[in-house]
A and B are shown apart, each in its own frame.
Chain A
Amino acid sequence: MSEPLIVARNLVKIYKQRSGRFGFGSTAIRALDDVSVEVKPGSTLAVVGESGSGKSTLARCLLQLQPLNGGQVEFEGRDLARLSGEELRAARRRLQMVFQDPFASLNPRMKVGEIVGEGLLIHRLGNAAERREKVVRMLQNVGLDASDMEKYPHEFSGGQRQRIGIARALILEPRLVVCDEPVSALDVSIQAQILLLLKKLQQEMALSYLFISHDLRVVRHMADEIVVMRHGRVVEQGGVEQIYREPQQEYTRNLLNSIPGQHRLAH
């Protein structure tokens, strides 16, 4: 078995929520409570759970977009919290993210070419001509056209915008891509296109995915391994076949049982 690409050990994240009369009190919410996961190179780890289970917090903490209250994240064998700002920025090139809302996650004032190429600029990769060529190739790779570079996000449909978001993440040739509900805002036909695109790109670019979803049918198609979360804790984890076939925990069974299309309610 190859070394895991990213390992998270005993992550703890506590949010303080104002409470009580006029919000003078405060309650601590353990959004992540001793969570340990790892992603192997070239494979997909899906994180499933209901809203509020901590799956998006896990994603943000893995990428060091939010400080942790405890635990450690090791990426390519190095503790991310110990990296200097410069080193962390360099590591981020290989840790990218695709967001849920293809409408909110693209700057409406930037052209698609600028959006997709911005990462190259920030990481000072190549000269203008090389960058341009890379952007064109990436756009074609995600099923868009070179001429789309000059357009603005509002000229695209939801599915096409998600392709732009994917191109932006992948142009830096990352090793790990965190996909936070990448298809839940899309129509089912578009959803299938994007899922197949993500799978194709995973093979071509040897990507690892951390795939966050609440849709267990989608997860079944994408994941190699699964982590089931609830109230900030890992309820169960294992291979996708094993979990779907023999869920060990009541909570997982309940989730799987709730997938629509299994129980006739009409008479």
Chain B
Amino acid sequence: MSELLRIAGLTITPAAMPERLLVNNVSFALDVGKTTCIVGESGSGKSLTALAVMGLLPTALKRQSGSISFQGSELTVCSPAQMRDVRGKRIGMIFQEPMTSLNPVLNIGYQIGESLAVHLGLSGKALKTRVAALLEQVGIPSERVSSYPDELSGGQRQRVMIAMSIACEPSMLIADEPTTALDVTVQAQILALLSELKQRMNMGMLFITHDFGVVADIADDVVVMFRGEVVESGTVADVLGNPQHPYTRALLDCVPDADGKKTLKPIDYAWLKEVA
């Protein structure tokens, strides 16, 4: 299996407070055509890790150390211009809020076409044809090409986001909680769409979520983060079926199951501090 992304020893702190480790020595890898899920609570550093891969860390934060190697090239030494070429073209991105990630005054066809024009230099008829094909690919009738975001439902907007992110056929897709704001039935559709596209285009997917149900459905590998550190990582079967770290076990114990048989157990952080 060939490696698509390798993160090694990634450490992120506020620029002004280098002793506050927001992301602490994080390492993991993602193979071509596979899905790695990063799971954790809010503040665990999962989104920062993804932002660092894309070179989009807020300016108040600083990557203190660590390497991010994508398709064999080191992203941390890339110039801003080189990163712009990577983002959107070789790495696609989807965010949580389909309401706020789209520009309300531009129609969806324009927004999907933008990266094709910028990265691949498409224009005119070729651009139109490609945008129409992308819309159909994500399950939106191509007649909707001149619709504005406010004319679409949440699920459709997320489909538009997906069409934008896969427009240039990236080899990796980073999805940060892409279904959290959606209804459960729509979530199921979007997850199915992402899996299908991933397989058809042989994309690697870095998928950030806090929902173990989603992890069980789509992940090949899982990285569990807690307070900026990776506490456990492995295949989905190992991490969910036979969790080794007390935090992973505790986190799994708080997830309600669909059968209602499980006794919920909140995390005892004081206890965790002692054992972990």
A interface residue numbers (CB < 8 A to B):
50-51, 187-193, 195-196, 214-218, 220-221, 240, 244, 254-267
| Per-residue interface assignment for chain B, residues 199 to 227, with 1 indicating a CB less than 8 Å from any chain A CB and 0 otherwise | 10000000000111111111110000000
Query: Among the listed A191, A192, A240, A260, which residue makes an inter-chain contact with B188, where contact means beta carbons less than 8 Å apart?
Result: A260
The answer to whether B185 has its CB under 8 Å from any CB of chain A is yes
Nearest chain B residue, comparing its CB with the CB of A241: B260
Chain B 247-276 interface residues, beta-carbon cutoff 8 Å to A:
250-251, 253-260, 264-267
Q: Select from chain A the residue with minimum beta-carbon distance to B265.
A: A192
Q: Is the CB of A191 within 8 A of B254?
A: yes
Task: Other than A220-B259, A221-B264, A266-B195, give 19 A-B pairs with Cβ distance below 8 A.
Answer: A188-B210, A188-B212, A188-B251, A189-B254, A191-B254, A192-B265, A195-B256, A196-B264, A196-B266, A240-B260, A244-B260, A254-B185, A258-B184, A258-B188, A259-B184, A261-B213, A261-B214, A265-B191, A265-B192
A220 close to B41 (CB less than 8 A): no
Cross-chain pairs A/B with CB under 8 angstroms, 15 sampled: A187-B41, A189-B250, A189-B254, A189-B267, A192-B253, A195-B256, A218-B256, A220-B259, A256-B258, A260-B217, A261-B257, A264-B217, A265-B191, A266-B195, A267-B199
B258:A216 contact, CB within 8 angstroms: yes
**Cα separation A215 to B217 with both chains bound (whole Å):** 17
Residues of B within 8 A of A220 (CB): 256-260
CB-contact partner of B219 in A191, A257, A266, under 8 A: A266
User: Which residues from chain B contact A195 at a C-beta distance below 8 Å?
Assistant: 256, 264
Give CA–CA (A50, B186) in the complex, Å: 9
Q: Tell me whether B219 and A217 are in contact (CB under 8 A).
A: no
The one of B188, B199, B253 that contacts A257, using a Cβ cutoff of 8 Å:
B188
Q: How far is the CA of A257 from the CA of B189 in the complex (A)?
A: 11
Main secondary structure of the interface of A (DSSP, over half): helix
Question: Least Cβ distance of B222 to chain A in Å?
Answer: 11
The listed residue (B185, B195, B199) touching A258 by CB distance below 8 A is B185
Contact residue among B183, B214, B253, B266 (Cβ-Cβ distance under 8 Å from A260): B214
The interface residues of chain B lying within 8 Å CB-to-CB of A187 are 41-42, 210
Does the CB pair B258–A258 fall under 8 Å? no
Is B250 a contact partner of A266 (Cβ separation < 8 A)? no
Shortest Cβ distance from A191 into B: residue: B254
CA gap between A189 and B40 in the complex, in Å: 10
The answer on a CB contact under 8 Å between B264 and A255 is no
Please give me the residue from chain B that is nearest to A217 by CB atom. Answer: B256
Distance in angstroms from A218 CB to nearest chain B CB is 5
| A116, B245: Cα distance in complex, Å | 39
B240 CB to nearest chain A CB (Å):
9
Chain A residues with Cβ below 8 Å from B264 are 192, 195-196, 221
Q: How many angstroms between the C-alpha atoms of A176 and B148 in the bound complex?
A: 43
Asked whether B35 is an interface residue with its Cβ less than 8 Å from the other chain, the reply is yes
CA distance A195 to B192 in the complex (A): 30
**Chain A min CB distance to B35 (Å):** 6
Contact (Cβ within 8 A) B257 A217 = yes
Whole-angstrom distance between the alpha carbons of A215 and B214 in the complex? Answer: 13
Q: Which residue of A lies closest to B261 (CB)?
A: A220
The smallest C-beta distance from A217 to any residue of chain B, in angstroms, reads 4
Q: Within 8 Å of chain A (Cβ to Cβ): is B156?
A: no
Interface membership of B76, Cβ < 8 A: no
Pair B183/A51 contact, Cβ less than 8 Å: yes
Residues of B within 8 A of A218 (CB): 256
Which of chain A's residues have a CB closer than 8 A to the CB of B255? Answer: 188, 192, 217
Instruction: Check A50/B183 contact, CB under 8 A, given A189-B251, A260-B211.
Output: yes
Give Cα A192 to B255, complex, Å.
Answer: 7
Contact between chains at A214 and B217 (CB < 8 Å): no
Contact across chains for B260 and A221 when beta carbons are under 8 A apart: yes
Assembly CA distance A227 to B104 (angstroms)? 36
